[in-house]
Amino acid sequence: MQIFLDTANLDEIRKGVEWGIVDGVTTNPTLLAKEIKRTGRKKEDILHEICELVNGPVSAEGVSLDFDGIVEDAKYLSSIHPNITVKIPVTPVGIRAIRKLHELNIKVNATLVFSPNQAILAAKAGANFVSPFIGRLDDIGDAGMRIVEQIVTIFENYKFTTKVIVASVRHPMHVVEAALIGADIVTMPFNVLEKMFKHQLTDVGIERFIKDWKEAARILGE
């Protein structure tokens, strides 16, 4: 299973890359707007630097809602760097655009997926990735991971090459559940990635080892 960071924050991405465990990045207009406000840099510069930091797919999203606008946004975003994958919502217009971009060999991440039906349509249209938003489904009382499980099963049944990105992840157990289901990728906020390291017994073990070693050194007069 690959791990993507769901952020446009360059400091967070840099740290994840230094750990050697980040395979890609997903952004959206909200995340990019936050980074633009924080740094005063242009979105093109931010996206290009993310792509230079990460040796893998970097999802970016336009804001056009009509077919021609979506396609033009996608062409522009994909021209920023070869690593760019364009995020497109699964709507009738979006599906048409996904098919067109597939024909143009522009990589697409079908986003805002909330049902297996939407995932099927995206895969049929030629999307490289589909992103079911599990946290938002949980928020309205649906079972987000059940949707992921259904999508993974359907894709395996019909040998779709479209990869499943589990998105809108809220906590480390979402990551474990996605891995047990067999999802290809989980994209998560940096704070969730940090929490994956944490376990109280690890901290206790480190403290004990250090304490015992210091006592041994004291006996030896070191």
pLDDT (tens digit per residue) in 194-216: 999 998 899 899 888 988 888 88
Catalytic residues: 87
Q: What is the reported pTM?
A: 0.94
Q: What is residue 159's predicted lDDT score, i.e. its pLDDT?
A: 97
Q: What is residue 128's predicted lDDT score, i.e. its pLDDT?
A: 98
Q: What is residue 222's predicted lDDT score, i.e. its pLDDT?
A: 66
Q: What is residue 217's predicted lDDT score, i.e. its pLDDT?
A: 84
- pLDDT tens digit string along 49-67? 999 999 999 999 999 999 9
- pLDDT tens digit string along 118-173? 999 999 999 999 999 999 999 999 999 999 999 999 999 999 999 999 999 999 99
Domain-by-domain residue ranges, the chain? 2-219
Structure tokens at 77: 């975003």
CATH top-level class of 2-219:
alpha beta
* Average pLDDT rounded to a whole number, residues 174-184: 97
